[in-house]
């Protein structure tokens, strides 16, 4: 537990020292969302119909791209080797890393999402669901994406290989996340859908970190 706390502190510090890593996913999220009114049409009704999908796809891409470098610098600088030879199971520092990453990059997306939902003409009643669905969904996206990041660390291929590995795995979360927002915008009850999202999150939290550690070990040559 001490190790976990030290690791969490260190991860937060590392992210904090390079604020770009925190700000950029947020900017990316906002920018991608603002591309759509330009590319599709600024008509309010149309925007409102596509808004759930646009919000969720943008969030998904932002999370995914933010994960590209999750382990890269630790690997290049040799910290990853240190972590894998240390006398702690790698799940501990991995969990710390995932938590820190989500807190500083995922959570801001969640917090800003109602504003963007409003800009995309979603009814006010749906904005709570926007937040809630992202609150449940983005940690799952972070963990699943981290599996891909672990498997590709050291290959130095950039985000696009990660995307090819990870996007298909994101689809269930996307469907239920966007589905919840659509349902809320249509005035329907969203409890059931959010429960499914919660179940997906529970599944990823329980198995994901193990898969991430296994991926890191494989990447290092095991």
Interface residues toward its own copies, by CB under 8 A? 20-21, 24-25, 27-28, 31-32, 35-36, 38-41, 46, 49-50, 52-54, 56-57, 60-62, 65-66, 68-69, 72-73, 76, 156-161, 163-164, 167-168, 171, 174-175, 178, 182
Q: Which of 51, 98, 200, 201 binds another protein (CB under 8 A)?
A: 200
Nearest approach, Cβ of 43 to its own copies (angstroms)?
9
Query: What sign has the CA pseudo-torsion 30, 35, 37, 38?
Result: positive
Residue 77 engages another protein in binding (rule: CB under 8 A): yes
Q: Which of 14, 22, 91, 112 binds another protein (CB under 8 A)?
A: 14
49 binding partner (options another protein, its own copies, none; Cβ < 5 to 8 Å by kind): its own copies
Distance of CA 210 to the CA centre of its chain: 18
Count of CA atoms in the C-beta half-sphere (13 A) of 145: 32
Nearest approach, Cβ of 178 to its own copies (angstroms)?
4
- Binding to another protein by CB under 8 A, coded x per residue (else -) over 53-72, reads --------------------
């Amino acid at each position: 537990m001490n190790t976990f706390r030290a690791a969490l502190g260190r991860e937060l510090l590392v992210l904090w020292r390079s604020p770009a890593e925190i700000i950029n996913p947020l900017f990316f999220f906002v920018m991608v969302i603002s591309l759509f009114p330009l590319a599709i049409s600024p008509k309010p009704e149309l925007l409102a119909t596509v808004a759930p999908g646009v919000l969720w796809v943008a969030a998904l891409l932002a999370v995914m791209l933010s994960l590209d470098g999750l382990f890269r610098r630790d690997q290049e600088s040799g910290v990853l080797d240190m972590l894998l030879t240390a006398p702690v199971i790698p799940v501990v520092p991995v969990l710390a890393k995932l938590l820190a990453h989500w807190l500083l990059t995922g959570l801001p997306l969640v917090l800003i999402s109602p504003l963007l939902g409003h800009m995309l003409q979603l009814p006010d009643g749906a904005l709570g669901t926007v937040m809630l669905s992202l609150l449940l969904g983005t940690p799952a996206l972070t963990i699943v994406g981290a599996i891909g990041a672990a498997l590709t660390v050291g290959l130095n291929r950039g985000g696009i290989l990660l995307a090819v590995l990870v996007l298909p795995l994101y689809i269930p979360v996307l469907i239920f996340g966007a589905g919840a927002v659509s349902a809320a915008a249509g005035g329907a009850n969203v409890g059931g859908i959010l429960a499914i999202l919660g179940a997906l999150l529970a599944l990823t939290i329980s198995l994901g970190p193990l898969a991430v550690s296994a991926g890191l070990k494989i990447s290092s040559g095991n």
